[in-house]
Amino acid sequence: MRYPELALNILKEKGLRITKPRCLVIELLDEAEQPLSAYEIKDTLSRRGEQVDTVSIYRILDCLEENHLIHRVISSGKVRKCALDQEEACALEQHDHCHHFLVCEQCGQIEEVHCPGTEALVGALQNSTRFLIKSHRMEFSGLCPSCQPACIGI
């Protein structure tokens, strides 16, 4: 199953509605190689003859982010679809796992990684600080393998 179908399933599962604007945005995010900004999404859809109001784009992105279907890059605010694999799609409730992200400063490419040990870290933090930790966000930025030669200057 492709991203759009999986993403829509997850929304449906949560009792959210499948609307035209949502489908358009999800479809576009699936095709995109690079992270997109709200306006880039709006403009691309416009060029295709699909008018979706800016406010709606923002609200759709909020919704997708809340449901862990996209990742918002901290530095740029642009968004990229998350990887949804079959297992996760089947076990929807387990969907909001720990996703962490590597962002290339040069080309914008995003790679998702699972960091083993995160649960343990969160548990230790809760014990030592008495905070009740409900969510976390971890993003690493640097240079991806293909951008390194150019940037290091060789």
Could you list the residues that contact DNA (CB under 7 A)?
Answer: 12, 15-22, 37-39, 51-56, 58-60, 63, 77
Q: Measured from the CB of residue 85, what is the shortest distance to its own copies in angstroms?
A: 18
SS3 (DSSP) at 113: strand
Q: Is 45 in the site for its own copies (CB under 8 A)?
A: no
Alpha carbon distances (Å) from 46 to 43, 51, 54, 108: 5, 5, 11, 24
SS3 (DSSP) at 69: coil
SS3 (DSSP) at 148: helix
Nearer to its own copies (CB atom), residue 27 or residue 139: 139
Q: Measured from the CB of residue 45, what is the shortest distance to its own copies in angstroms?
A: 26
Q: Measured from the CB of residue 89, what is the shortest distance to DNA in angstroms?
A: 17
Nearer to its own copies (CB atom), residue 51 or residue 148: 148
Residue 103: what are its φ and ψ, rounded to 5°? -115, 130
